Amino acid sequence: MDNKLESKKELLKKIKNIEIKATILSDNIFAGQYQSCLKGNGMEFSDIRRYAPGDDVKKIDWKVTAKQRKAYVKEFVEERELSVFLLVDISASNRFKEKLDLITELVGSLAFSANKNGDRVGALFFSNQIERVIPLKKGKKHTLSIIENLLTINPKGDKTDIAMALRYFGKVFKRRSVIFLISDFLDDNYEKELKILSQRHEIIPVRIGDKKYESLPIGAIFTLEDAETGEQIVVENYKENSSNININNISNGINLYVGEDYVKEISKFFNRGRVR
């Protein structure tokens, strides 16, 4: 019982620390950049009015036109509210302490930035299966629940399958969203799914790397320790820089490395301007 209480206290302390850091980043660094870069760029239905010369015929509401026997068009306004989804790879290679710390801080910062901007935020955690889906919502309590879920989840799968996660998202979530795809990208054969999903959604790949492991010879085997369970994980250094090749072929990607200033890299991304 004491151990459980102590673990709970440690978890709450960790969540609080992440909240403080993420809030500072979202308030002082990312807020304006986030808003200008990721402002809503979809269109939502507003009203119906009589057709006027010069109106786009594609906007004619044929149902209303037939009923009224006069041409009517649909009016649209820019959609201000974003749906922000955090697709997070929680497979074994992302579970050791340094990577998990970076991923958790990043998720917290992005979630708090979305919350501050009045956007809804959700999360999907995956390995080689869908581990957990957190629906889109607003509010600080919801943002903190995303962080807590990320810290406490015990994945059933240890490998990763990015293509599967993208297919699942495309089937379940139809409304246009901004997707931060957070992974070390130690996977391949997902480019087709990425291309299909990007036709409807804005996808921003965020690669989490660790230079000390990437400098090892290809095929080298090393051991990592799970940050939460202490379980040791044997990982083989992936085939020839495949993650670098894949991420560099994707526009709007962000490369982050353990032990380096991720704030600088995210700020650089936001400063590029609007996503598309």
Confidence of residue 15 (pLDDT cuts 50, 70, 90): confident
CB count within 10 Å of CB 171 equals 8
What single DSSP character describes residue 219?
A: T
Confidence of residue 18 (pLDDT cuts 50, 70, 90): confident
At residue 227, the pLDDT reads 47
- Taking CB atoms within 8 Å and a gap of at least 24, the contacts of 107-110 are 107/146, 107/147, 107/150, 107/182, 108/18, 108/19, 108/21, 108/22, 108/143, 108/146, 108/147, 109/21, 109/22, 109/25, 109/26, 109/30, 109/266, 110/84, 110/86, 110/180
Of 17-21, 131-135, 216-220, least confident by mean pLDDT is 216-220
The CATH topology of domain 2-38+81-271 is: Rossmann fold (3.40.50)
Mean pLDDT is highest, among 2-6, 23-27, 47-51, 109-113, for 109-113
Could you tell me the pTM of the whole model?
A: 0.75
**CB-CB contact of 84 with 122 (8 Å):** yes
Residues 220-258 have pLDDT tens digits of 555 655 545 555 555 555 544 444 445 544 556 899 999
Residues 151-177 have pLDDT tens digits of 999 999 989 999 999 999 999 998 889
Token pair belonging to 92: 């074994």
> What mean pLDDT is predicted for residues 136-145?
93
The closest of 94, 146, 107, 125 to 258, measured between CA atoms, is 94
In angstroms, what CA-CA distances link 143 with 20, 35, 85, 152? 13, 18, 12, 15
Decide if pLDDT at 1 tops 50: no
Q: Which residues of the chain form CATH 3.40.50.410? A: 2-38+81-271
CA dihedral (215, 219, 223, 226) positive or negative: positive
Token pair belonging to 181: 């795809």
At residue 2, the pLDDT reads 53
Which is higher by pLDDT, 75 or 28? Answer: 75
